[in-house]
Chain A
């Protein structure tokens, strides 16, 4: 297991290089000139465009540009935005907020999803099962911007339970409602994955043996059934953490959360290559570590799984 973990950590390097290069090239390939739009409804003077292009190496070929960027990155310099702000400062401000939001969303979706999934998995076809199925459909069909807006207006403006927007520090307590909104679609996935897994495994030998042995139902479910059914759910949760971190644009917009979702989105539209690459590279590293953790968890949950 130790060797396995080490191997995985070493694989970080090629992925890091591959990801940075791919993202950098993609941003470079975005249509349009970033400096054409800086002057409102009039074209910018040629002198300005030339000066800015030189400053940001945009006249070099994409490989040279990438090389210079990578060199800077390895020295800890993430570059700067076109308005002169250090990208590292932007990332340092936005990442913790997004991380907090993603964790809150993950916990909410895991708790609610697993509970609903376990309960309906144990009793498929019942009244509760159909109720949960209908709620799942609602969550899938209603777009995130509606859920967010409705909750913001009802809880924030009408009933005054929460502030309609999140402050710049973004404490955990402020992030509960946004986390719920963000995790609402994934909740549907988790519920159904758990339900399927549980209903499949509840007819297996070891469950019947455990019941026959006279174990209390709670122990049967909690210790034996859950552990064996958890693998697809854990996989999805691991995948989802990454998705939550990178894709919360709509939720961030509604609740004014200054996270990386909005940062990346705005930077893509204004073609700020340094920002996009810097943020995404860190994201990829998070995925790598997350997936490693999930893979190790498989081995913990199911002793039959081996990697060597």
Chain B
């Protein structure tokens, strides 16, 4: 019954769109002639969104895929290189990396027809930053001047009885709407990477409809992106279709996208092999073993690294792990190449630094010898530290991870002649709770996928004192000073050189051990052509065509 209703909806809307297209000529402003625009619907695999579909409140992958199709920010990222380029913004100008003047392009509209103005951005950002609204992405606005007036901290954390005081203001003083097309942003400190950040979903604009009725918006999100929301069936799928008045330079060539939710990734994989599902961004481990996916999907699979790294971190607040020699010894005890070959069939390259390949600003081999397999030197160093007891590694196991962590444990115990145990934690929630509370007693898995392509995003959150993801409470004033200098650098290139220096300094302390660079193996059906998987693991919906 439900699907018949959906099918009817789809048929009606298809008719409307096709008729309108036929009658109304090209009907859009900026250039895009889209020579391969087809009528096809493609299906891609997503996980069920865990949060309401609001850009400022949805940081996980499932909801992220949907929102990325529905919204376009001031800046977007090139699907091949990850370099930022202007989208809604016509220009972003600054003289001192502190005050930015953002001029918007003309002609951008939301899916309900209302125009995208500077106020749309300012209102959205103020709403997300305002702490009583409880939005997940609030911390992305810390750099804007006046943030501390709209976002107050709970003095004893969310567990304690005390509550955060009411913020003094509802709008950040650093955000000024000059006119409909101009927004002026003043940062608290100079930060050269700010324009790159603007492509992240937290910085998306919101229409008036959001502020009028948020519940209705969550059921039916209205964005300004290349696709508009059609319908959603929980645990089944989310349908979006091409927005004909999209003002971007390029329009998607497919007419609609069905984002299908599967009960397991193995079932989704079987559907890709059979041709019932068009695209799957992460092939499950059972098909990665022995590189089976390459024989199951000849010519329609890809394996590439993306903006992610997998590390194991030390709880530096625990006195047992405070000796940097111990940490370096364990790093040299790990045989990363063997783990890559035997567990991953060579699909996940060993990490040689804290920054993933392909990220603007990265240089290879920052870690040097400390990230290679040196069993004799490791054992010498380890014995000299006098560490007692077995070495324990821990991770959540509801998303895999058990096998490679056990393999890492095996190489460590073989090199150091000390027992190494892997302690599994059943659920990610339990795992993160203990990490957030700084109560870890074992070395824990700590992956990182960048929010935007910049070396800065791999360093500031994790290795700066008080960084939002510095769960191990690592603190090195020299690293902090270098990072601050890099943030304030006059140009991106000079900033990158300083970030690279900070990376080397942190690696010399080894608060976290880089293990491997995350890579994604994607597969698609025979229908798709021109498949590009961008550095965020997404299928590039603008260039893909259906044969």
List the interface of chain A (C-beta within 8 A of B).
Answer: 30-34, 36-53, 82-85, 89-90, 93-94, 149, 152-153, 156-157, 163-165, 168-169, 252-258, 262-263, 266, 269-271
With A46-B157, A257-B263 already in contact, the answer to whether A37 and B432 are too (CB < 8 A) is yes
How distant is the Cα of A152 from the Cα of B164 in the complex, in angstroms? 54
Residue of B nearest to A90 (CB): B234
- Contact between B50 and A46, CB atoms less than 8 A apart: no
- Contact between B429 and A37, CB atoms less than 8 A apart: yes
- Contact between B59 and A39, CB atoms less than 8 A apart: yes
Q: Which residues of A contact B131 (CB under 8 A)?
A: 45, 47
- Contact between A156 and B52, CB atoms less than 8 A apart: no
- Contact between B431 and A52, CB atoms less than 8 A apart: no
Given contacts A45-B138, A90-B234, 14 further A-B contacts (CB under 8 A): A33-B433, A47-B135, A49-B134, A50-B163, A52-B134, A83-B48, A83-B50, A164-B267, A168-B2, A168-B237, A252-B263, A253-B263, A254-B264, A270-B429
7 A-B contacts (beta carbon < 8 Å) = A48-B57, A48-B135, A83-B48, A83-B49, A84-B52, A93-B233, A262-B264
With A50-B134, A253-B263 already in contact, the answer to whether A32 and B430 are too (CB < 8 A) is yes
Contact of A47 among B151, B234, B270, B432 (CB under 8 A): B151
B290 interface residue (CB < 8 Å to A): no
Summarize B's interface: helix, strand, loop or mixed.
Answer: mixed
Q: Which residues of B contact A43 (CB under 8 A)?
A: 432, 435-436, 468-469, 471
- Contact between A255 and B267, CB atoms less than 8 A apart: yes
Residue of A nearest to B447 (CB): A41
- Contact between B234 and A51, CB atoms less than 8 A apart: no
Residue of B nearest to A263 (CB): B235
Smallest beta-carbon distance B81→chain A, Å: 24
Smallest beta-carbon distance A255→chain B, Å: 6
How distant is the Cα of A246 from the Cα of B393 in the complex, in angstroms? 34
With A43-B471, A256-B268, A258-B235 already in contact, the answer to whether A38 and B50 are too (CB < 8 A) is yes
B398 interface residue (CB < 8 Å to A): yes
Smallest beta-carbon distance B456→chain A, Å: 15
- Contact between A168 and B151, CB atoms less than 8 A apart: no
B133 interface residue (CB < 8 Å to A): yes
How distant is the Cα of A206 from the Cα of B271 in the complex, in angstroms? 56
- Contact between A50 and B427, CB atoms less than 8 A apart: no
How distant is the Cα of A53 from the Cα of B161 in the complex, in angstroms? 13
- Contact between A164 and B276, CB atoms less than 8 A apart: yes
Smallest beta-carbon distance A100→chain B, Å: 14
- Contact between B263 and A32, CB atoms less than 8 A apart: no
Residue of B nearest to A85 (CB): B234
Contact of A89 among B234, B434, B469 (CB under 8 A): B234
How distant is the Cα of A168 from the Cα of B218 in the complex, in angstroms? 23
B426 interface residue (CB < 8 Å to A): yes
The 5 tightest CB contacts between A and B, nearest first, are A51-B134, A32-B430, A253-B264, A256-B267, A47-B131
The B151-184 residues at the A interface (CB cut-off 8 A) are 151, 153-154, 157-158, 163-164
Residue interface bits B47-59, CB-to-A below 8 A is 1, else 0: 0111110000101
B547 interface residue (CB < 8 Å to A): no
- Contact between B274 and A157, CB atoms less than 8 A apart: yes
Contact of B264 among A31, A163, A256 (CB under 8 A): A256
- Contact between B234 and A156, CB atoms less than 8 A apart: no
How distant is the Cα of A257 from the Cα of B262 in the complex, in angstroms? 8
Smallest beta-carbon distance B459→chain A, Å: 14
- Contact between A40 and B276, CB atoms less than 8 A apart: no
How distant is the Cα of A258 from the Cα of B262 in the complex, in angstroms? 8
- Contact between B274 and A36, CB atoms less than 8 A apart: no
Q: Which residues of A contact B428 (CB under 8 A)?
A: 37, 269
- Contact between A41 and B264, CB atoms less than 8 A apart: no
- Contact between B136 and A32, CB atoms less than 8 A apart: no
The residue among A32, A34, A49, A153 with the most chain B CB atoms within 10 A of its own CB is A32
B343 interface residue (CB < 8 Å to A): no
The B255-276 residues at the A interface (CB cut-off 8 A) are 262-264, 266-268, 270-271, 273-274, 276
With A47-B131, A163-B276 already in contact, the answer to whether A157 and B270 are too (CB < 8 A) is yes
Q: Which residues of B contact A84 (CB under 8 A)?
A: 51-52, 218
B39 interface residue (CB < 8 Å to A): no
How distant is the Cα of A15 from the Cα of B327 in the complex, in angstroms? 55
How distant is the Cα of A100 from the Cα of B274 in the complex, in angstroms? 25
- Contact between B429 and A36, CB atoms less than 8 A apart: yes
- Contact between A93 and B234, CB atoms less than 8 A apart: yes
How distant is the Cα of A256 from the Cα of B154 in the complex, in angstroms? 43
Q: Which residues of B contact A163 (CB under 8 A)?
A: 274, 276
Smallest beta-carbon distance A211→chain B, Å: 52
B16 interface residue (CB < 8 Å to A): no
How distant is the Cα of A257 from the Cα of B436 in the complex, in angstroms? 35
Smallest beta-carbon distance B466→chain A, Å: 12
Contact of B60 among A40, A93, A168 (CB under 8 A): A40
- Contact between A47 and B134, CB atoms less than 8 A apart: yes
How distant is the Cα of A169 from the Cα of B2 in the complex, in angstroms? 9
Smallest beta-carbon distance A95→chain B, Å: 12
B139 interface residue (CB < 8 Å to A): yes
Smallest beta-carbon distance B537→chain A, Å: 13
With A253-B263, A258-B235 already in contact, the answer to whether A42 and B134 are too (CB < 8 A) is no
- Contact between A165 and B276, CB atoms less than 8 A apart: yes
With A36-B433, A94-B235, A163-B276 already in contact, the answer to whether A269 and B427 are too (CB < 8 A) is yes
Residue of B nearest to A54 (CB): B134
- Contact between B266 and A253, CB atoms less than 8 A apart: yes
- Contact between B136 and A45, CB atoms less than 8 A apart: yes
Smallest beta-carbon distance A69→chain B, Å: 20
B461 interface residue (CB < 8 Å to A): yes
Contact of A32 among B49, B154, B267, B429 (CB under 8 A): B429
- Contact between A49 and B158, CB atoms less than 8 A apart: yes
Q: Which residues of B contact A258 (CB under 8 A)?
A: 235-236, 263
How distant is the Cα of A32 from the Cα of B154 in the complex, in angstroms? 20
Q: Which residues of A contact B164 (CB under 8 A)?
A: 46-47, 50
Smallest beta-carbon distance B288→chain A, Å: 15
The residue among B157, B428, B468 with the most chain A CB atoms within 10 A of its own CB is B428
With A41-B449, A53-B158, A84-B218 already in contact, the answer to whether A31 and B469 are too (CB < 8 A) is no
B132 interface residue (CB < 8 Å to A): yes
How distant is the Cα of A223 from the Cα of B2 in the complex, in angstroms? 45
The B421-460 residues at the A interface (CB cut-off 8 A) are 426-436, 446-449
Q: Which residues of A contact B468 (CB under 8 A)?
A: 42-43
With A44-B136, A45-B136 already in contact, the answer to whether A164 and B433 are too (CB < 8 A) is no
B3 interface residue (CB < 8 Å to A): yes
With A33-B429, A48-B138 already in contact, the answer to whether A165 and B271 are too (CB < 8 A) is yes
How distant is the Cα of A63 from the Cα of B330 in the complex, in angstroms? 48
Q: Which residues of A contact B273 (CB under 8 A)?
A: 157, 164
With A32-B429, A48-B135 already in contact, the answer to whether A168 and B3 are too (CB < 8 A) is yes
How distant is the Cα of A270 from the Cα of B428 in the complex, in angstroms? 8
How distant is the Cα of A229 from the Cα of B205 in the complex, in angstroms? 70
Q: Which residues of A contact B434 (CB under 8 A)?
A: 32
The residue among A37, A94, A168 with the most chain B CB atoms within 10 A of its own CB is A37
- Contact between A32 and B431, CB atoms less than 8 A apart: yes
Contact of A46 among B135, B158, B235 (CB under 8 A): B158
